[in-house]
A and B are shown apart, each in its own frame.
Chain A
Amino acid sequence: GENVEQHPSTLSVQEGDSAVIKCTYSDSASNYFPWYKQELGKRPQLIIDIRSNVGEKKDQRIAVTLNKTAKHFSLHITETQPEDSAVYFCAGFFSGGYNKLIFGAGTRLAVHP
């Protein structure tokens, strides 16, 4: 069935280090993969997304890679800062006739000064 798995569930890094979060999905027809950042008590905010016709997309310190063959995609944050601390969710759009995003369980990222 439709499923998105996300790892790790928690991630702790030192300021300035890189952070990588990985997701796998089950529907080979999926073609849209957004990433959301959610700070405590706030709404999820779209930070970057990727579509299946590209393998990589970058926006300043954030990049996302997609491997359609292996059905996995990753979020890379370089030069992490304390304000990057939040919960990050990956999602996949499942094409089974309807429009809905299936979210991963989230990764709690802590960046320590």
Chain B
Amino acid sequence: NAGVMQNPRHLVRRRGQEARLRCSPMKGHSHVYWYRQLPEEGLKFMVYLQKENIIDESGMPKERFSAEFPKEGPSILRIQQVVRGDSAAYFCASSPVGLAGGYNNEQFFGPGTRLTVL
């Protein structure tokens, strides 16, 4: 059973370009979470998605950021018109059920995408 997959692992963009980050959850997991980690800082929740639904996007900036988790394919975190402050590691995590669903709801993290904005 492969773990959570993220690609690309490293992404370099110039200011104003778009960044697309992909996350494939573990097999059997239908809940996906995106976190951002600035250098030397902790993990900040961005968005929680289930298939075809955004459940909680309270941590996502109102502009330029969007996320989706389509019926088929990976979850995508999209950042439009990137700025230098967007440079960070973006981690995706997945769980088999939501955290409110009782047991067997641990979140497993992918390797992250390190975004550098020049």
What residues make up the interface of A, taking CB atoms closer than 8 Å to B?
Answer: 32, 34, 36, 42-46, 49, 51, 89, 91, 93, 95, 98-106
Contacts and interface: CB of A to CB of B under 8 A. Distances in A.
A interface, over-half SS: strand
Interface residues of B, number: 26
Contacts of A36: 109
A43 B91 CA distance: 8
Contacts of A103: 35, 42-45
A105 B100 contact: no
Contacts of B110: 43
A101 B99 contact: yes
B45 A101 contact: yes
A105 B38 CA distance: 11
A110 to B, nearest CB: 15
B29 interface: no
B98 interface: yes
